[in-house]
Structure 1
């Protein structure tokens, strides 16, 4: 897909204002997006005409009522499975860590719901976060995708071909961090947190998230998961199926622990599967 810088700037402004309910001035928008003031003024002016943003008496911009029709259209097409909020909250409490629900599209993964619970959610992940559909994102759904989509996904990590077979057989994707990556993992998480405050650095943020994936998402085999020894565990994911039985969403938990025993790993897997089963086939929220 060919990038469109003008379009990217408009998207960045809308996303920035969505995260700033009190509004931002032109100079603040320009500074946070690393744009010059004339560019920020032009983008805000274009968005103000259809009412997508509005300027207050204090000269600060907020999202405007013109976006309501867009929001209603999105809600009509992208809706959570019924009971999702309750299921995610219960799962987060049961496993003691962050839980996320994402929609796996053709070329990207979009996070629809996030529940930190008593734990934490991986840095950079919030409702609306979009990630390219590349390993490990979407792994719990990919085994049931057309061959061409699987091939495109595996082109980034050919060694995961057998992992997709394991996921198809057992319904769970399990990931571990690279053994020497613990310190780097913490640093990269902090970097992503800082970059979240500067949407104009979206390209750099994507590169950092790619590095996080590389060091924190090495797939476990079924034999490794059932071994008696304690193992590091970063994430677990399971597919959620629509009313036709087709996997469309991914439910993920993030223990992010250096050592998890066999019994506790089994508890994580059972809790995740049970929650995914509850959401599978559920009608979308009206």
Structure 2
């Protein structure tokens, strides 16, 4: 049960505007199955604080005063120079899928994907994830970017996590700052669940009437990222289950703006292969950041 239904309605509207094109009040109400009067009142309150803006066509979008809106990029579809070529090279070097996602204050959008079918488990990129797939920015998604973001953004990100996971995720942010990347483990049993959710999301993408359901499925998919491996875990000479690895890519203003990922999605990755994955991923992240004038720390 939701602790505060009114708050939940406000959050739902903000998340919808963060993950969709501008919408009018009626479309928002219909999408979220809320009354139009309720949506109108919430939008008026948000507009009075400049958290949302209304255009001449009566559609709404996030406004300039939305928390963190000005710090993280508001251009989710931009690509760093050479991104597609670098992803293609990275996928070939590691033998699994590679992806690049743009991270804004409220969402994470996949802007480039390179599948590689040489890995035993498939491409390494779930089939429901495609260019243009946009996920709400909720922990643990985009941890590699958040680790290099200001403290207030880190706190806001941690607040989206289950309270029982926040300490572990806070420690993970510190480790990511030290190593330059995140390595996520996953319960082998969850690998099958991940594939099923991704397949469902892929089917729903082809029906314009299933937008809300697809967003819920993608939210479940994002929450199935697994758990962060520690440096001590990764140093052990034994196979480990690895879902994916991620590193930040910086823009010319020294802001972490993208997350580059590779997805082994494998239940037993050797120490040698873990080292190879990490080395190749950091190499690609560094190249893309250098193209924008900044290398990861």
**Structure 2 length normalisation: TM-score?**
0.67
Residue 126 of structure 2 contacts residue 195 of structure 2 at CA under 8 Å; is this kept in 1?
Answer: no
In our comparison, the structure showing a higher alpha carbon Rg is 1
**Aligned-pair CA distance for 1:124:** 2.3
Q: For residues 260 and 77 of structure 1, do their structure 2 counterparts lie closer, same or farther at Cα, with a shift above 3 Å needed?
A: closer
Q: Deviations over 1:2-47 (max 9, x none)?
A: 639xx99x9599xxxxxxxxxxxxxxxxxxx9xxxxxxxxxxxxxx
1:243 deviates by 2.2
Taking the aligned partners of 1:216 and 1:78, their CA distance within structure 2 comes to 23
Secondary structure at 1:3 match in 2: helix
Where do 5+ consecutive residues of structure 1 fail to align?
14-32, 34-49, 51-75
TM-superposed deviation, 1:283:
4.0
Cα distance in structure 1, aligned partners of 2:95 and 2:241: 16
Counterpart among 173, 198, 223 of residue 164 in structure 1: 173
- Please say if residues 76 and 104 of structure 2, whose CA atoms lie closer than 8 Å, have aligned partners that are also in contact: no
For residues 37-61 of structure 1, give each alpha carbon's deviation from its aligned partner in whole angstroms, at most 9, with x where no partner exists: xxxxxxxxxxxxx9xxxxxxxxxxx
Match of 2:78 in 1: 79
- Tell me the distance in 2 between the aligned counterparts of 1:215 and 1:113: 21
1:257/1:2 CA distance change after superposition, 3 Å: closer
C-alpha displacement of 1:202: 2.3
Contact 1:121 1:254 in 2 (8 A): yes
CA distance in 1, matches of 2:219, 2:272: 31
Number of the residue aligned with 2:125: 121
Q: Give distance in 2, aligned partners of 1:83 and 1:186.
A: 30
CA spacing shift, 1:281–1:246, aligned 2, 3 Å: farther
Q: Deviations over 1:192-218 (max 9, x none)?
A: 222222243222222222323333421
SS at match of 2:143: coil
Equivalents in 1 of 2:76, 2:247: separation in Å? 22
Give the Cα–Cα distance (whole angstroms) in 2 for the partners of residues 2 and 214 of structure 1. 17
1:245 alignment partner, SS class = coil
Task: Please name the residue that 1:137 is paired with.
Answer: 141
The answer to whether structure 1 residue 226 and structure 2 residue 235 are counterparts is yes
Secondary structure at the aligned position of 2:209 is classed as helix
Query: Residue 122 of structure 1 aligns to a residue in which SS?
Result: coil
Matched residue, 2:70: none
Q: Which of 136, 150, 153 is residue 149 of structure 1 equivalent to?
A: 153
Work out whether 1:265 is the aligned partner of 2:284. Answer: no
List per-residue Cα deviations over 1:142-175 (Å, max 9, x = no partner).
0122222211211122131101001011011111
Cα distance, 1:190 vs structure 2:
2.3
Going from structure 1 to structure 2, the CA distance change for 1:182 and 1:125 (only over 3 Å counts) comes to: closer
Q: Per the alignment, in what secondary structure is the counterpart of residue 131 of structure 1? A: strand
TM-score (norm 1): 0.70
Residues 1:110 and 2:119 aligned together: no
1:242 and 2:251 aligned:
yes
